[in-house]
Amino acid sequence: MFASNSRGLALQLSNHLKRLQSTLVLAEHNNEKLIPITQNAISAAKKIGGDISVLVAGTKCAPVAAQLSKASGVSKILLAENDAFLGFTPETLTPLVLATQKQFNFSHIVAGASAFGKSVLPRIAAKLNVSPITDIIDVKAPDTFVRTIYAGNAILTLKSKDPVKVVTIRGTNFEPAPLEGGSASTEQAAAGDYKTDLVQFVGQELSKSDRPELTSAKVVVSGGRGMKSGDNFKLLYDLADKLNAAVGASRAAVDAGFVPNDLQVGQTGKIVAPELYIAVGISGAIQHLAGMKDSKTIVAINKDPEAPIFQVADYGLVADLFKVVPELTSKL
């Protein structure tokens, strides 16, 4: 009797706390379409509980706002279209978020732990005088989060003592929220003069590829130092095309100039968790494993039977990659 009462009380309390939560999600987009990690961030916001608003700031917001207005679980879209947000610079976005925070007093401010989220959120947190929480993999309670430290070799559960929780989320640990079934209202975000002469966006040089995007691909084929040259990556592109896979790389392959930096998988590159990860000519250093060891199935192809990658691989092939990769491609 007593036990059930106290449980009832706890439940009541937790519902009450959830009602008090209100989360602002910072949408990441390119003025044309939403970047998918935003959908994962919305899911994390749902797990926190409470009301969810999404802020869309940019030089052109209409297409993204239209996409987001149908996102399930989102109650409000805040629009901030302004030339000042060219290049999504943290120096211009921070005052906007602060103005929005002043207006609505959110308990949580959330974004994906992408290059964008990692640049902007700590700046916002400092201005709010709170300690941000990077790259969470789970939400235990509105104030309790789980994240990895030491290149994924330890799992830290922490309780934030700050009044506002500023959090970036690891996209691969939260399902993307569907962009359907919702009906959010749209309103203008706090107006202001967000221009600054401190920073000027000059331009971007993006790697063009027809393959799926690395962090959200179902299958990833990655090459390491064992590929020996950039030209040999053609073998992996052929295999990737057969599997509709994205292509990744170890730091060694990037440093050797085989492929561009943005393909790097690891502690300091991208974190991926595909259904299938095929590591080719990659030894499996701690720093690389940090970026891929949550993959569902890992296949390693390496001629060194002692390579640490075999300790995490579900299936290993101890063989010369130059022989077996073309063979695998032809047999698929």
Partner 1 sequence: MARVLVGVKRVIDYAVKIRVKPDKTGVVTDGVKHSMNPFDEIAVEEAVRMKEKKLASEIVAVSCGPAQAQETLRTALAMGVDRGIHVEISGPEYETLQPIHVSQILAKIAKDEKADLVIVGKQAIDDDSNQTAQMTAAFLDWPQGTFISKIEKTNGELKLTREIDGGLETIKIKMPAVLSADLRLNEPRYATLPNIMKAKKKPIKKLSPKDLGVDTAARIEVVSVEDPPVRQAGSILADVDELVTKLKEGGHV
The footprint of partner 1 on this chain (CB under 8 A) covers a number of residues equal to 91
Residue closer to partner 1 by CB (options 17, 182) is: 17
Q: In the complex, what is the shortest distance from the CB of residue 114 to partner 1, in angstroms, rounded to a whole number?
A: 5
How far is CA 43 from each of CA 36, 104, 174, 213, 261, rounded to the nearest angstrom? 12, 21, 6, 20, 29
Q: Which of residues 183-242 bind partner 1 (CB under 8 A)?
A: 196-207, 215, 219
**Alpha carbon distance 301, 307 (integer Å):** 10
What's the token pair of residue 278?
């095929």
Question: Of these, 63, 72, 286, 322, which contacts partner 1 (CB under 8 A)?
Answer: 286
Decide if 26 contacts 111 (C-beta within 8 A): yes
Report the residue from 17, 66, 256, 312 that binds partner 1 according to the rule CB under 8 A: 312
Q: Does 87 bind partner 1 (CB under 8 A)?
A: yes
Give the shortest CB-323-to-partner 1 separation in angstroms.
9
CB within 8 Å of 306: residues ≥ 6 apart: none
Out of 29, 108, 251, 288, name the contact with partner 1 by CB under 8 A. 251
Q: CB of residue 119 vs partner 1: minimum separation in angstroms?
A: 5
The backbone torsions φ and ψ at residue 194, rounded to the nearest 5 degrees and listed phi first, read: -100, 5
Task: Decide: is 83 part of the binding site for partner 1 (CB under 8 A).
Answer: no
Residues present in the chain in total: 332
For partner 1, the closer of residues 52 and 243 by Cβ is 243
- Work out whether strand 297-302 and strand 315-318 pair parallel, antiparallel, or are unpaired: parallel
Report angle CA 240, 174, 236 to the nearest 5 degrees.
10
Residues 110-129 interacting with partner 1 (rule: CB under 8 A): 114-116, 118-127, 129
Tokens matching residue 131: 């300690």
Torsion angle, alpha carbons of 319, 268, 48, 174, to 10: -30
Considering only residues 36 to 55 of the shown chain, the ones binding partner 1 according to CB under 8 A are: none
Q: Which stretch in 73-81, 150-158, 178-186, 221-229 sits in contact with partner 1 by CB under 8 A?
A: 150-158
252 is an interface residue for partner 1 by CB under 8 A: no
Q: How far is the CB of 75 from partner 1 (least distance, A)?
A: 28
